Amino acid sequence: MHGARRAAVVRRGEARPAASPSPAAAAESAGVLGDITAALRKGHRKKVLEGVEAALAEGISAETVLNEGLVRGMQLLGDDFSAGRAFVPEMLVAARAMNAATERLKPLLAAGGKKSAGKICLGTVRGDMHDIGKNLVKIMMEGAGLEVVDLGVDVSAEQFVDTAVNEGCALIGCSAMLTTTMDEMRRVVELVRERGLAGKVKVMIGGAPTSREFCDSIGADCYTADAAQAAQAALALLAG
């Protein structure tokens, strides 16, 4: 739901926090989990998978491998993206490695009763065919343990809200890259209210033409200008 802009998460009614530099490689864990994190940040799919197998062989749980190896790696790469030290190609390569590793872990996580951190329906609004930013948000959200219903591009307000109701999503994520399509976000918020879902289904927005001021003006619950921060914003909204 975002392009290459980099900024902090801003929830409705909050002041924008000051940006701070992210930790680099020193923030990575030691041992095999650190190896997974480092390999993921570099997009080395084979090394990531080898690290996952090594961790499992050491008796480390699948959930720990996911959270302290894979998710940690994506979080650090997200910090790099926010600070301008990493770019879209690196994010996409790392995402492929992440997806391969999570496929390996899925049966183990299911057997261990790993639960979703929440469910969101995500899409680019009607009239807009851009999907790179939205896809980056999906990557970060799934990495954080969220279940994402990807509606794709050119999504109407009705589709967003109908999906939220039918799929049991407590959060709608709207992306726009064109100023001419931003008003569909307003319609999403209005439709949530019209259907009596305010407080039950929250709306977060993002994308190049959006801003905190626009978020406040339409009554959306959260604005983020950075795909790397969107997952944490979603987790906070779902928890609150």
Residue that has been written with the tokens 């799919």 in this structure = 45
* Chain mean position to CA 122: 10
Same domain, 136 and 69: no
Continuous H helices in the chain? 31-41, 45-57, 62-64, 72-82, 88-111, 132-143, 157-167, 183-194, 212-218, 227-239
Same domain, 231 and 122: yes
Distance CA 76, CA 97 (A): 15
Instruction: Flag whether 91 is in a domain.
Output: yes
Distance CA 172, CA 202 (A): 6
Q: What is the domain-level CATH number for residue 55?
A: 1.10.1240.10
Q: What is the domain-level CATH number for residue 161?
A: 3.40.50.280
Using alpha carbons, list the distances in angstroms from residue 193 to 46, 132, 173, 187, 189: 48, 29, 16, 10, 6
In this predicted model, what pLDDT tens digit does every residue of 104-150 receive, in sequence order?
998 888 787 767 789 999 999 999 999 988 988 998 888 778 999 99
Number of domains in the chain: 2
Predicted local confidence at residue 109, as pLDDT? 82
Same domain, 124 and 227: yes
Same domain, 167 and 222: yes
Instruction: Flag whether 3 is in a domain.
Output: no
- Residue 50, token pair as written in the block: 């080898």
Instruction: Flag whether 166 is in a domain.
Output: yes
Predicted local confidence at residue 185, as pLDDT? 98
Domain end residue (candidates: 82, 111, 140): 111
Same domain, 120 and 234: yes
Instruction: Flag whether 1 is in a domain.
Output: no
Predicted local confidence at residue 3, as pLDDT? 52
pTM above 0.75, yes or no: no
29 pLDDT higher than 70: no
Same domain, 156 and 206: yes
Domain end residue (candidates: 55, 80, 111): 111
Predicted local confidence at residue 142, as pLDDT? 83
Which contiguous run of DSSP H or E holds residue 153?
A: strand 147-155
Higher pLDDT, 8 or 167: 167
Same domain, 107 and 128: no
In this predicted model, what pLDDT tens digit does every residue of 40-93 receive, in sequence order?
999 999 999 999 999 999 999 998 998 899 989 988 988 898 889 998 899 889
Same domain, 92 and 142: no
Same domain, 97 and 209: no
In this predicted model, what pLDDT tens digit does every residue of 166-223 receive, in sequence order?
999 999 999 999 999 999 999 999 999 999 999 999 999 999 999 999 999 999 999 9
- Residue 138, token pair as written in the block: 């999906």
Same domain, 165 and 214: yes
In this predicted model, what pLDDT tens digit does every residue of 211-225 receive, in sequence order?
999 999 999 999 997
Same domain, 185 and 210: yes
Distance CA 72, CA 155 (A): 32
Instruction: Flag whether 2 is in a domain.
Output: no
In this structure, which amino acid lies at residue 200? Answer: K
Q: Which domain holds residue 146?
A: 9-16+116-239
Instruction: Flag whether 187 is in a domain.
Output: yes
pLDDT band at 21 (very low <50, low <70, confident <90, very high): very low
pLDDT band at 15 (very low <50, low <70, confident <90, very high): very low
27 pLDDT higher than 80: no
Same domain, 84 and 136: no
Domain end residue (candidates: 65, 84, 111): 111
Instruction: Flag whether 4 is in a domain.
Output: no
Instruction: Flag whether 74 is in a domain.
Output: yes
